Every structure is written in C-alpha cells, then in structure tokens.
Amino acid sequence: MKTQDSAFAPAPEPLLDLAALRADTPGCESVIHFNNAGCGLLARPVLRTMVDHLDLEATIGGYEASAARAAEVADFHAAVAQLLNTRPGNIAFAGSATHAYSKALSAIDFRPGDVILTTRNDFISNQIAFLSLRRRHGVEIVHAPDHADGSGVDVAAMAALMRARRPRLVAATHVPTNSGLVQPVAEIGRHCRELDLLYLVDACQSVGQFEIDVEEIGCDLLTATCRKFLRGPRGSGFLFVSDRVLGAGYEPLFLDMHGARWVAPGYYRPVDTAARFEEWEFPYATVLGSAAAVRYALRVGLPPVARRTPALAARLRTGLAGLPGVRVLDGGPAPAALVTVAVDGWRPEPFKAAMDARGVNSALSFREFAQFDFADKEVEWCLRLSPHYYNTEDEVDAVAAAVAELARSVR
C-alpha cells in the first residue's frame, strides 16, 4: 500500500461518483451484494466486452476473433502490470489464483528438508499445497507465530525464523479469506530482500481493494484472481513473476508450446517472459473481460477505492458491535472489507439462507478454511460480509439491521 511523502501537501482527494458507478453495475438494482470477497459485481463495460467477443467468435470463428482482438488481448498484461507497478512481461494470465499459485510452487525445485516459512493465516488451498509438497518432497512447513492480540503475524519472530531456518520459500497471504486481517506483506518483504529469500504473496483479496505495488512489497511472485475486488469475470487470475525469478531460470514443472520453444528434438527453451507460466489456450472472452475490469478499476482509481471500501466495512463493524449474540471476529488495526461475524444460536446454512431471503448476498467460512484462526477464535463457522466501493451507507445499515433482527430472533 502506498505511503505518502509528508514533505508535500496531499493531493486533492479524488471522489467517486457513486450514482454513476451504481448505474454502471446492473447487479446493484437487484441485490445488496456483500459478497465481493467471493466475486464482485461486473460493471457494464466488462460485461459488454465479453459478450461482444463471444458474438465475434460465433460470427467469424474463435481463432480469427482472437487475432482480430490481439491488441486488446495483449492489454491484459499491460493493464495488470500498471495495476501492480511492473511491466507486461512480468505478468502471466492464469485460470484462477490457485492455478497461478500452483504454477509458481511447481517452479521451485524443493528438496527433502527444505523449509517453507508461512503464516497461520495463509489461505486454505495454499496450506493444502504445502502439505502436499511435504508428502511428496519431504519439505518442512513452519508457521510464524502471531501476535497474541489477534493482529496477525509477528514479523520480528518471522524474520528470526528466516535467519535461523533459511527457508527455500517464504509465503504470505495479504488478506486471508476468513477475516479482514491485513498482513504486513511489505514488512515481511523487506526481510526477504535483505536475506535474499524467495517470497510468494497471495494478494487475492487485496488486489482491487488496495493499491498493490510489487516493488514496495518486495515479492518475487504474487498471485491474485480477477473476479473479487477487481470485479472481473469468473475463471481468471494472474501471476506476477519478478525479473529476479525469470533471470534465475525458474520455470513451471509443465510448460507448453506457448511457454517454451521446442528448439531441437531433445531440447526446449523457456520463453524469456512470464508467459512461460501460461498455457497456449486462453478463454479469450474472459481475458478481454479481465483486462476491461482492470482498466475500469484504474479509471475509478485505487486510492479512493482503498479509502471507501474498508470504511464501509468499518461502518458495518460499528453497526454490529455490541449486538447481543453477535461477535465481530476481524483483528488488526486497519482491517480490510471482509467483515466476519459469529452469531449465537444459528446453524450456518439457515443463517445465510435468511440473509439471502432479505436480499443480502453473503458467504460462509468454516473451521476448515482457517484451522489456526478459527481455533484461536473458538468458532466453527462465521458469516462473511464483504462490501465494495459501489455499496451505499444505507445498504451497510440495512445489512447490520438484518443481522440484528436474525440474532434477536433466536433469543
């Protein structure tokens, strides 16, 4: 997240034109969408881009359509690069954040006894991937301790583990799926750079919600999806690969004819760019829709989005705080727009169904999603409410009132 140079007066606040943004978002007419951490609502230009491309494919042929839109396809890499403060050659398209993450892990030649140093709040699928690497390659998984007050990883203790264990990989999730906790990924990155350790960041829940600068974070690899706070289509994500990693010759376990040249019968050569992490086949309508979503986010402006979105979540937490039978679970000094609540006396599915019936989209998180975090919080499940900048203060208050009503109804 960007820091400000205090020697200069702050730039005038760019404002969001909420009415225009909502008019641009068809879903706003039918639902109170507080499931942006699941999947954001598409904006009209994104939808139109995708439908237009499907029409073109149907009219002139799939290969011909992608050739006709080659410049816009290439803009996926340019737009994501601008979003992350890097170059297009450092970006690879992926079918999901998890796909990008697996590709990144597959590029590391893990040996028995290698250490993966991670956090207790890293994403469930990343933890499962580490366990799978432990089973197959005998790596050791080390979880850095958290601060006792629930404010996330203790970076000093993590840095001490870096020095003592010299991990093959340091992995941190910026914002987990199961709470609004924001982990200090740039602070962790400074230690990784100082000690020259390979650093992988999962920015799936933070990209599109905050300004993400890969230089500032100091990561070697970063993964995200397009469908959440970036408001892109389902089935798309990306991987950032640093020049350090490309230059050192890292490549995924399986490359194809797009990621490598078959230069002689017994020899292939990976391409120079992050395209070595991609596959030849692209879902072109989705790639174009994702590029349109990233351009849309850049036009709206990440600084005002990064102010408004967590502020709406903070308003919701205030509305829920102190309600009998309701516990707000998010830790840390400045949580992200994932508001997680435990509600006494309800089973998860009926509770979510009751929110659905009130026109509110939400999501459930279960103990399995967050073995460490939910054990610490002593909860088996929670409701996750994740607003975005296009939601209104009235919607926030309506959602708080719906939770209050349902919590009361079991008393």
Residues of this chain that bind ligand PLP (CB under 6 A): 96-98, 123, 125, 173, 176-177, 202, 204-205, 225, 237
Given the complex with ligand PLP, which of 43 and 204 has the nearer CB atom? 204
CB of 348 to ligand PLP, least distance (A): 17
CB of 333 to ligand PLP, least distance (A): 20
> Degrees (nearest 5) of the Cα angle 231, 232, 234?
115
Which spans in 196-247 are helix H? 214-217, 243-247
Nearest to 351 by CA among 312, 313, 325, 388: 325
Given the complex with ligand PLP, which of 200 and 285 has the nearer CB atom? 200
Report yes or no: 45 and 296 within 8 Å, Cβ to Cβ.
Answer: yes
Task: Look at the block and give the residue holding tokens 């507080």.
Answer: 34
Given the complex with ligand PLP, which of 317 and 384 has the nearer CB atom? 384
At residue 125, the 3 state secondary structure works out as helix
At residue 303, the 3 state secondary structure works out as helix
Region of residue 166 (phi > 0: left; psi between -120 and 50: alpha; otherwise: beta) = left
Given the complex with ligand PLP, which of 207 and 400 has the nearer CB atom? 207
**Amino acid present at 286:** T
Given the complex with ligand PLP, which of 184 and 319 has the nearer CB atom? 184
CB of 352 to ligand PLP, least distance (A): 16
Cα-based torsion angle of the residue sequence 227, 335, 360, 364 in order, rounded to the nearest 10 degrees: 80
Pairing status of strand 339-343 against strand 381-385: antiparallel
CB of 129 to ligand PLP, least distance (A): 11
CB of 239 to ligand PLP, least distance (A): 12
CB of 45 to ligand PLP, least distance (A): 22
Given the complex with ligand PLP, which of 36 and 96 has the nearer CB atom? 96
